[in-house]
């Protein structure tokens, strides 16, 4: 493959990478990486990615992250330095540049504690910086397996009100609502079944991965995490997990009943995301012609939101200088990894 730069997005559940050769995006790769179970999962995922990309000793590496939040670390500081140390065990430390938001890219040797707040969970800003440089205005929504990032872009800037996770949660620029790992019990307290409103069991019986498996919208290549019960990833198994939420067995109703129940949860998630969108629109920074830009494996819902709001839709991949070669993962699936790679390329990290 002969790539000369890899952009890394180290998440708490997945490790994502985008390989460049010049300006050509030659590979987009995502591997499961449950950091809460230990750093050995990072090392296994990183080795697999390096093998697939064929990265040589002269390859450069640009990194952003959210994985510093994983339970394996006691705080963000330990997480940031722990992940960078782990990456340094896979590639030469001098080849790594760390994305630190407005501070640009930093060398590992120059990092100190004061840099941690700019590095921690800044992957959304890498996506925003790249997208803002490619269009006049828009609302970017990166909807992944676990979270949604909402970024207002205008005149080359990311007009965020928050930076830390706490601040972004406060302003609904970060919404913990993804399309694979989110527990369905977090989307509603009751659900309709057989003409009645049924209280949900507050148990991790089913996730949004089950929901979108039932609606047929979940991309198979993106469904990498174990199910709530560790069971199969089939329509029937997902319906069985969904039935448990309302205290029923799969056999107690027909398949149409479970499909309709899944559609209800889909509407609840769309409503949650729409509320956050309304808050961003209400700032008055975007006009009625501003596009909605979709990124992440859940951007099928972003397309639906754009349609309901009456705004044009753009895919994050449309903002790349050169289209990627075909691969299992689309460039927009792993937007922060792609973005940090291009930022490192053009900002001379």
- For position 221, what pLDDT does the model report? 86
Distance CA 174, CA 130 (A): 18
Average pLDDT over residues 318-343: 87
pLDDT value of position 299: 97
pLDDT of amino acid 348: 57
pLDDT at 185 (0 to 100): 97
What is the structure's pLDDT at 70?
94
Which phi and psi (to 5°) does residue 6 adopt? Answer: -120, 130
pLDDT computed for residue 322 by the predictor: 75
* Segment 83-123, tens digit of pLDDT: 999 999 999 999 999 999 999 999 999 999 999 999 999 99
Residue by residue, DSSP assigns 18-33 as EEEETTEEEEEEEEE-
pLDDT at 324: 63
Indicate the average pLDDT of the chain.
95
Q: What is the pLDDT averaged over residues 330-334?
A: 94
Instruction: Please give the angle made by the CA atoms of 235, 237 and 241, to the nearest 5 degrees.
Output: 115
C-alpha span between 203 and 85 (Å, rounded): 37
State residue 310's pLDDT score.
96
Closest CA to 3 of 46, 87, 64, 60: 60
Per residue in 274-285, pLDDT (tens digit) is 999 999 999 999
pLDDT for the residue numbered 349: 58
Of 45-54, 317-326, 337-346, least confident by mean pLDDT is 317-326
DSSP-derived pairing of the beta strands 137-143 and 292-295: parallel
Question: CA 253 to CA 278: how far, in whole Å?
Answer: 37
DSSP SS3 for 248: coil
Owner of token pair 């120059």? 110
CA distances for 92 relative to 58, 115, 184, angstroms: 9, 21, 42
In angstroms, the CA 227 to CA 232 distance is 7
**Nearest-CA neighbor of 139 among 17, 299, 338?**
299
**3-class state of residue 288 by DSSP:** coil
Per-residue DSSP letter, 195: T
121-127 mean pLDDT: 97
Percent of the chain clearing pLDDT 90 (strictly above): 93
Kindly state the tokens that stand for 337: 């990894």
Q: What is the pLDDT of residue 175?
A: 98
Determine the angle formed by the axes of helices 335-346 and 123-132, rounding to 10 degrees: 60
How sure is the predictor about 7, in pLDDT bands with cuts at 50, 70 and 90? Answer: very high
Kindly report, residue by residue over 163-179, the tens digit of the pLDDT: 999 999 999 999 999 99
Which residues contact residue 327 at a Cβ distance below 8 angstroms, ignoring those fewer than 6 apart? 27, 28, 29
Averaged over 201-219, what is the pLDDT? 97
Is residue 71 helix, strand or coil? coil
Q: What is the reported pTM?
A: 0.95
SS3 content of the chain, % helix, strand, coil (to 5): 45, 20, 35
Instruction: Find residue 6's DSSP bridge partners.
Output: 19, 61
| Token reading at 307 | 């349609």
Express each pLDDT in 291-311 by its tens digit.
999 999 999 999 999 999 999
| pLDDT tens string 40-54 | 999 999 999 999 999
Q: Is the pLDDT of residue 216 over 70?
A: yes
316 band by pLDDT with thresholds 50, 70 and 90: very high
Domains delineated in the chain: 5-124+319-346 (3.30.420.40), 184-271 (3.30.420.190)
Q: Write the burial class of residue 104 (CB in 10 Å: 0-12 exposed, 13-18 middle, 19+ buried).
A: middle
Task: State the Cα–Cα distance between residues 307 and 312, nearest whole angstrom.
Answer: 7
Residue 324 DSSP class: P
> pLDDT digit string (tens) for 138-149?
999 999 999 999
């Amino acid at each position: 493959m002969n790539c000369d730069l890899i952009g890394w997005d180290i998440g708490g559940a997945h490790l994502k990478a985008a390989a460049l050769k010049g300006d050509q995006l030659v590979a987009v790769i995502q591997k499961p990486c449950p950091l809460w179970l230990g750093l050995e999962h990072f090392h296994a995922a990183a080795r697999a990615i390096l093998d697939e990309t064929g990265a040589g000793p002269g390859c450069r590496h640009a990194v952003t992250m959210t994985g510093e939040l994983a339970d394996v670390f006691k705080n963000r500081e330990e997480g940031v330095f722990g992940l960078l140390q782990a990456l340094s065990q896979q590639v030469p430390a001098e080849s790594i540049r760390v994305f630190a938001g407005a501070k640009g890219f930093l060398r590992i040797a120059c990092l100190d504690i004061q840099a941690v707040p700019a590095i921690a969970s800044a992957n959304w800003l890498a996506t925003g910086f790249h997208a803002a440089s490619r269009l006049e205005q828009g609302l970017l929504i990166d909807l992944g397996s676990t979270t949604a990032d909402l970024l207002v872009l205008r005149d080359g800037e990311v007009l965020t009100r928050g930076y830390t996770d706490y601040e972004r949660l406060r302003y609904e620029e970060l919404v913990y609502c993804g399309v694979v790992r989110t527990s369905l019990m977090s989307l509603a307290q009751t659900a309709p079944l057989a003409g009645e409103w049924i209280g949900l069991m507050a148990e991790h019986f089913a996730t949004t991965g089950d929901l979108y498996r039932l609606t047929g919208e979940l991309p198979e290549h993106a469904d990498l995490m174990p199910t709530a019960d560790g069971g199969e990833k089939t329509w029937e198994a997902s319906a069985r997990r969904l039935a448990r939420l309302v205290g029923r067995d799969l056999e107690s109703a027909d398949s149409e009943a479970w499909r309709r129940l899944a559609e209800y949860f889909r509407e609840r998630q769309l409503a949650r995301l729409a509320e956050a969108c309304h808050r961003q629109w209400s700032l008055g920074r975007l006009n009625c012609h501003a596009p909605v830009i979709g990124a992440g494996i859940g951007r099928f819902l972003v397309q639906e939101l754009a349609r309901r709001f009456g705004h044009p839709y753009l895919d994050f991949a449309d903002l790349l200088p050169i289209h990627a070669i075909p691969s299992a993962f689309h460039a927009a699936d792993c937007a922060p990894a792609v973005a940090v790679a291009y930022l490192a390329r053009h900002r001379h990290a």
